[in-house]
Amino acid sequence: MMEHSPKPPEALLRAVAQDLKPVRPSPRPLQLALRIVPIALVVSSLILVAIGPRRDLGLLGPLLAWGASAAQFALAIAFVWIAAREGTPSGRLPRSTLYSAAAAAFLVVVSVTLLTFSASPTMQPLLHVPPMVGEKLRDAPWIMGFACGIGSTVAGGILVLLCSWVFRNSLATRPAVAGALYGAGAGLAINAGWRIACPVSTPWHALGAHGIAIVATVVLGALIGRLLGNRQ
């Protein structure tokens, strides 16, 4: 003979009924990624508003200038979309896809850098600055690299923080991976705008100063994702 559990008290049932509230469904990964688009556009355009586009855009042409940056920005949003899929276990992509995306990002950044340098091999910064400042930059090119590295890292860090706010309710089983993914997206988005403004085309500068900034946003995103995951 089966034993029936006693019925919960009426007071408990009323308390539970009063506490029930409708739950808003989690946004789909694509919706979550599209929310980042206007934010990323604004933050990545700040450098263009601050100093304007580089003076050799005519040599680069619209395809290598704006087209390449648009491709990088689209790849950045793709990384955010992959990060959003980490919050849905059934939609989580395999590690091989993540490695392929990372390899694609590396190849795109390197290819764009080399093509830009071949089209406009500027060894000196093309800036509207006083002659004394221009001479100082020519004698100490590391200053420009330091400024670009710090500036793009700060801009990328701001975008990572904004992404982490959008992902604050994510239930990713691999929060550090999700954070690294949207951190990579933030770094690529900032680089897409930064390369249009940066007046130096040398590979060591673009892959060094700008590349380090992308790596920094990946690390920052992973750390923030891990922190948010521990809180969840």
Q: Which residue has the tokens 């690529």?
A: 188
Tokens 């090119």 correspond to what residue? 141
Task: Please say if the pLDDT value at position 59 is more than 60.
Answer: yes
What are the start-end ranges of the E strands in 170-222? none
pLDDT, one tens digit per residue, over 75-117 is 999 999 999 998 877 778 888 889 999 999 999 999 999 999 9
Cα 30 to Cα 142: distance, rounded to the nearest angstrom? 40
Which uninterrupted H or E stretch holds 137?
Answer: helix 131-139
Q: Which residue has the higher pLDDT, 231 or 136?
A: 231
Mean pLDDT value across residues 8-26: 66
pLDDT tens across 126-147, in order? 555 445 445 555 555 667 778 8
**Structure pTM?**
0.81
Which pLDDT value is given to residue 58? 85
Residue 9 DSSP label: P
CA-to-CA dists, residue 177 to 92, 151, 181, angstroms: 11, 25, 6
Beta strand extents in the chain (DSSP E only): none
